[in-house]
Amino acid sequence: MAEEVVDVKKITTYKDKYYINKYSLPEFIQELEDMEVREDDTFVVTYPKSGTHWMQEVVNLILVDGHASKLFASNRRVIEAADIASPTPELLAASGPTLRQMKNAPSPRVLTTHIQYPLLPKQIREKGCKVIYVYRHPKDVITSYFNFNRKLLKVECGKEAPDTPANFAMFFSDAMEGKIAYGSWMDHVLQYSKEKDNENYLFVSFEAMKADLRRVVMDVASFIGHSLDGEAVKRVIQAASIESMRAAFAKEKEEAQKGNSNRKFDTTIFVNKGKVGQWQSRFTTEQNKYFDKLFEEKMKDCDLVKDYRPNEDSSV
């Protein structure tokens, strides 16, 4: 029997150049570019599956001194996407991007996006907003992104795409060509890395969060100008654990199903194990060699990701 091959990528194009989330429309991205920002806004920016919701949770928890009960569904959104379970054109147009729901949110706001650097709100540069960029080992990103898109199909149509080498090979090929939502990881990181010396940007790796979350919490708190005492730091770390986030997101899902929440998208699929090095059981030898060659060609001058450069331990 032939192996079922399912295209799991979800993309829409913007300006015939940028690949964006299928839960967005081109007019949503234009609205994002032109949005009114505030000087005390903090933007959490990531390429998908790089620790987005983890950092989003950390920043929001810092602002409430670790009191998780003060967080709501509106704190866990990607602003350029619609908050719906099925991205039909009609539902997308009716819902609009979640950034509209943040317009009247009290300051300071935490705004999360995956958007490519050239498409950031223009006023970020004008008003000097704080931007936290989180990045992760690209091979783990591709592995996690594939798994996520498989689950996303189940949310949309009730059937998860088979976890097969053929399906992963197709996704890997698209990722290498940048033909997935938000384009190439390498292009995304390279564009943002130009701001590495900008005092309004803080760059944090996913691996640093895994290794020493307390240090990251302190660095982020200092960066956004919010002081925390020792007990508050402990609360943030506890509430930002995988177990606590999974419970919080599950409660959100339960409330939505009861009709007590405006949250329409199942956010539990965003909380995974977050393992480091998971790519090693997924990439073939050929895929690994191809990736390493392209990485060396494109990222050789990017010091931000020097720890991800191929070495003797990168073989599979």
Q: What is the pLDDT of residue 267?
A: 61
pTM greater than 0.85 (yes/no): yes
Q: Which of 135, 121, 133, 134 is nearest to 39 (CA)?
A: 121
Q: What is the pLDDT of residue 258?
A: 62
Q: Which residues of 209-236 are buried (b: 16+ CB within 10 A; e: fewer)?
A: beeebeebbeebbebbebebeeebbebb
CA distances from 103 to 39, 71, 96, 279 (A): 14, 17, 13, 39
Q: What is the pLDDT of residue 273?
A: 67
Give the tens place of pLDDT for each residue, 124-159: 999 999 999 999 999 999 999 999 888 887 766 667
Q: What is the pLDDT of residue 162?
A: 83
Phi, psi of 5 (to 5 degrees): -115, 125
Which alpha helices (H) appear in 204-260, and where do they start and end? 206-211, 213-224, 230-239, 242-257
Taking 50 as the pLDDT cut, the residues of the chain under it are: 1-4, 6, 260-263, 312-313
Q: What is the pLDDT of residue 1?
A: 36
Q: Tokens 């940007």 — which residue?
A: 201
Q: What is the pLDDT of residue 111?
A: 97
Give the tens place of pLDDT for each residue, 2-30: 444 545 555 778 988 899 988 899 999 99
Q: What is the pLDDT of residue 252?
A: 67
Q: Which of 13, 21, 197 is nearest to 114 (CA)?
A: 21
